[in-house]
Structures are given as C-alpha cells and as structure tokens.
Amino acid sequence: MQRYKVKGKKFKIRNVKGLIYALVGVFACLLLTCNFSLAATAEAKHYTELQLPPLPEIKLPKYERFVLQNGLVVYLMEDHELPLVNGTAFVRTGNRLEPQQKVGLAGFTGAVMRTGGTKKHSPDELNEILEQRAASVETSIGEASGGASFDALSEDLETVFGLFAEVVRSPVFAQEKLDLAKTQAKGGIARRNDNPDSIASREFKKLIYGKDSPYARTIEYATVDQIEREDLIKFYQQYFHPNNMILGIVGDFDSKKMRSLIQANFGDWNRNPGIAKPKLPSVSPANTGGVFFVNQPQLTQSSVFIGHLGGRFDNPDYPALDVLNGVLNGFGGRLFNEVRSRQGLAYSVYGEWSPRYDYPGMFIAGGQTRSDATVQFVKALQNEIKRIQTQRVTAKELAFAKESTLNSFVFNFQDPGQTLSRLMRYEYYGYPADFLFRYQKAVAATTAADVQRVAREYLKPEKIVTLVVGNQTAIQPPLTQLAAKVTPIDVTIPGSQPKVKN
C-alpha cells in the first residue's frame, strides 16, 4: 500500500493499477465522444439541404362490411396489436331534430340511456361489472348524430358486448338519473357566461344561423323544465332501431366469432319498416353584415369573431378552400405574419373555411386582442381577407400550404379505430368511401389560380358579420369606427335570479 500526503492529509490508494485503468478508460470515452461530435458536426446540413423520401402511399387496413337482416350495418376490422376491442354505433338522430320548446331533450336521452341502467341491470350493477373489468360503455347524442360505444379487454368481450347491447336496446331511463342530469344542465346554464370565448362562439352562431335555428339555439332553464321522462322514451323509440344504425368494431377478435356475437345480441331486434331519413332543418343566413357587441366590463381584452355562412365538405372546391386555409393560418401563414408578428395585435389569430357534412358551415376568422387594439385588429383581419382575393399567393406560400396539408394526411390513419370511424362517418352522411383520397389528390393538384378563384368566389367581405365580446369603455377607438350602427347583444340568462348587491 502506498501513502501520499496532500496539504497535511493522508490518502490511501489501495490499487494503483486499477486507478490507472480507470483513468485510461475515461480518457478513451472522452476521445471517442469528441470524435463522434466532430463527425456529426462535419456531416450536419442546413434543413433546406435535407433530402427526404416521398411520403409512402397510405392503404386502408383490411375490413369487412355486412348488413344483418334487420338492416343493421356492421363494419369489422381486426387489429391484434393489443388485447383490446372497442366498438362504436352511429344512430341517425341528433339534437337538431328535437322540438324547439324542449332544447336539451336529445342530450338528456343520450346521457340517461347509460346512467339510467337497463331492464336487466341497475345503474350500480352496470357500473360495478364494467369497473371490475376496466371496461366502459358510453352513450351520447350530439348535434347531427347519436352514438354508443364500448371498450373492453379481449377476454371480456362477450360480457361487455352483452352489456353494450343492453344499453342500446333496453334502457329504462331512471327518473332519478334524469333529475340529476337536469340539475347538472342548469348548473351549466348558470356558468355559461363565465368564459368570453364561449360567449363569442355561442352568440356568433346565432348571428349566422339565427337564434331559433337548430344549429344555434341554446338550452335554457325553461326548456329543461319542459322535459319529462316520457319525452326521453319517445325520442329514443323514434330513432333507435337497427335499420337506423351503423355499428363498427375494431380490435383483437376473430371476425367469424364476432359475427356470431353480433347476431346473438342484435339479430332478433326488429327493424322499423316505417322509419325514414329525417328531414334536415333548412339553413339561410340570419345576417349579411353588421357589427355586434357583448359588453363584459371585467375584461382586459376582446374576443373577436368575424365571418359569414359557409359550405359543405362535398363541394368540389373544398380542397382548394382548404389550401386557402393553409395560406392564411399557422406559423408562416399570412395572418400570423401580418397580424401577429408585424402588427403585434394578437397572440393567436386565425381565419378558416369550416364546412360541415350535410349543412353549410361557416367562414370564420378571429382571435383575442387588447381592448385598445380591437378596431385595428378587426380592420387587419378584413384587409387580409381582401388581400387574398386580390394578391395571388406566391409559389412559396402555395407549396407551404399544400405540403402542410399533404404531410399531415397520415394523421387521418394513426390507428385502425380512427380509420374505421371515418369509413362509418362517410356512409352515415352518404359520402364515397374513398372521399379522403379524392380530397388528397385534389389538394395536390391545386394551383395558385385555384386559390385566388375560390377566395374571390366564396369569401364575401361585404357580407361579413362582426362580433366583439369585450369591455366597452376600454375599447378605444370605439367600434363605431367599424360601422355607424353597433348592435348590443344582451346575454342575460333567461329565468336567472339577479345578483343581490351587498
């Protein structure tokens, strides 16, 4: 053993040879790392010099489609990557079909179908069986469709699918669960003016479609009070039939056995021979211009929406309009570059042609801005809308917009469940199964002239409706610089009790 003295302290080195080997090893690692770093630096290229391979062709996974004798359409797609199975049913219904005096009925029907239990299982029994298996069964009804879904481990498929069928076929709509849902809905009504963006979104739809339109009307205390358990049962019985549904199942199962399971649970469900495709509400613009304002004195910034009635996905010009969206939006888009970066008027800004499947959507632009910049922000949005009509997009802008769209195309097929849901949705709305691929080809073929043409044809600056939610006294210059007449909107909740001042 050797002893060394440093500043009066003794240190013992029991294995000098081991220390030397360790130091040599550390030095070798450092040298190797340095060499790799130098090599990486020498090979590094600017991103513009990178050569990337073309995107691979996307192919649909194998799937089956068949129809039971009672009219139930079924899609099956096997996926054995994980021991999981999930399914979704689309039902031709929606809250746009509920009576105006009972807004909220469809939502309650969709919720209490699940929470209210079935003829064989109480709500608690249903919850307990599912929780023990880490499974779920859910139901809901939205604007344009109803839905039911389940998730289960492969080993629990038979049990969970049986419960799913029970919920879909034999819900009891327990009164106490409806009472709870109504109480929760009233709580939501009471809080609906807490968020300025929610106010803007809700009121803007009313300005575009009309306050009584099924696409804009809102649930109120009065409509909730009108809804009884019998209304839920009647609404359910009107739309929930096998020949009014599309069922899709994806996951770890054998298709032959799955067919038998579906037949056993749904095959004896009688079709409704009298059911017809529901007549959809008509749509026309409620306003073709004007400036509207919701005063919220507590705010330090304004939420701004501008726009007008739009169109549908099946419009042949939709791909070019979507490229136009790419020119306007995102990092590097015109709105970002001009309104956010150059003028500094907003942190987030957007402008989008937003279609729907079977009724006209909207063209909508907006964002949030400082109160004292509100008028300038609105004018900047208007100018960019006009500019895209008059100033042809550059080759760089076009390439950026198209590549962003086409490169993100793969995210439509992230997993088999997403793909199957899209196929079902296309059938639900009467679109061709290859609609997305047709859209992809049309985007690739879009030219700068196409973008300018659709901008001129579909964007209507002279018909733009403007809505501002903000602090009236802080908005300087005032909104009258946008229009001589500014129409106030009262968002007081009907039937609510005024707050008592202390």
The contacts of residue 450 (CB under 8 Å, 6+ apart) are: 320, 323
For 398, the token pair is 């076009």
pLDDT at 17: 46
Is 421 in a helix, a strand, or coil? helix
pLDDT at 11: 39
Task: Provide the residue-wise pLDDT of the chain in tens; the chain has 502 residues.
Answer: 444 443 444 434 445 445 445 554 555 554 445 554 444 455 667 756 777 676 667 778 899 999 999 999 999 999 999 999 999 999 999 999 999 999 999 999 999 999 999 999 999 999 999 999 999 999 999 999 999 999 999 999 999 999 999 999 999 999 999 999 999 999 999 999 999 999 999 999 999 999 999 999 999 999 999 999 999 999 999 999 999 999 999 999 999 999 999 999 999 999 999 998 888 999 999 999 999 999 999 999 999 999 999 999 999 999 999 999 999 998 889 999 999 999 999 988 999 999 999 999 999 999 999 999 999 999 999 999 999 999 999 999 999 999 988 988 878 788 899 999 999 999 999 999 999 999 999 999 999 999 999 999 999 999 999 999 999 999 999 999 999 999 999 999 998 754 434 3
**Domain count for the chain:** 2
Q: Contact, 440 vs 412, CB < 8 A? A: no
* Same domain for 296 and 261: no
* Same domain for 474 and 331: yes
* Same domain for 405 and 305: yes
Q: Contact, 242 vs 68, CB < 8 A? A: yes
* Same domain for 357 and 246: no
pLDDT at 411: 80
Distance of alpha carbon 406 from alpha carbon 415, whole angstroms: 18
pLDDT at 21: 52
Bond preceding residue 477 cis, omega within 30 of 0: yes
Residue 20, domain member (yes or no): no
Residue 352, domain member (yes or no): yes
Give the angle subtended at the CA of 382 by the CAs of 379 and 386, to the nearest 5°.
Answer: 135
Distance of alpha carbon 174 from alpha carbon 103, whole angstroms: 20
CATH number of the CATH domain containing 158: 3.30.830.10
- Residue in this structure with the two tokens 């049986």, named with its chain if needed: 162
* Same domain for 354 and 417: yes
Cα(first)–Cα(last) distance of the chain, in Å? 86
Residue 31, domain member (yes or no): no
pLDDT at 415: 87
Give the angle subtended at the CA of 147 by the CAs of 141 and 153, to the nearest 5°.
Answer: 140
Residue 448, domain member (yes or no): yes
* Same domain for 97 and 219: yes
Residue 198, domain member (yes or no): yes
* Same domain for 104 and 239: yes
226 burial class (0-12, 13-18, 19+ CB within 10 angstroms)? middle
Beta-carbon count within 10 A of 429 CB? 17
Sheet holding 486-488, edge to edge: 349-354, 362-370, 301-309, 465-470, 291-295, 486-488
Backbone angles phi, psi at 182, to 5 degrees: -70, -40
Residue 307, domain member (yes or no): yes
Residue 446 CA: distances (Å) to CA of 315, 402, 407: 15, 8, 15
Work out the widest C-alpha separation in the chain, in whole angstroms. Answer: 103
Distance of alpha carbon 27 from alpha carbon 30, whole angstroms: 5
Domain extent at residue 367: 291-488
* Same domain for 432 and 321: yes
> Regarding beta strands 291-295 and 465-470, do their DSSP bridges make them parallel or antiparallel, or are they unpaired?
parallel
**Residue 433 DSSP label:** T
Residue 489 CA: distances (Å) to CA of 132, 320, 497: 50, 35, 19
Q: Long-range contact list for 455-462, CB < 8 A, 24+ apart?
A: 455/324, 455/388, 455/389, 456/389, 457/317, 458/310, 458/311, 458/317, 458/321, 458/353, 458/363, 459/363, 459/385, 459/388, 459/389, 460/308, 460/363, 461/382, 461/385, 461/386, 461/389, 462/289
Whole-structure pTM value:
0.86
Q: Contact, 94 vs 147, CB < 8 A? A: no
* Same domain for 318 and 256: no
Residue 341, domain member (yes or no): yes
* Same domain for 295 and 237: no
Residue 57, domain member (yes or no): no
Residue 313 CA: distances (Å) to CA of 310, 355, 410: 10, 6, 19
Distance of alpha carbon 48 from alpha carbon 472, whole angstroms: 48
Q: Contact, 399 vs 447, CB < 8 A? A: no
* Same domain for 131 and 166: yes
* Same domain for 163 and 114: yes
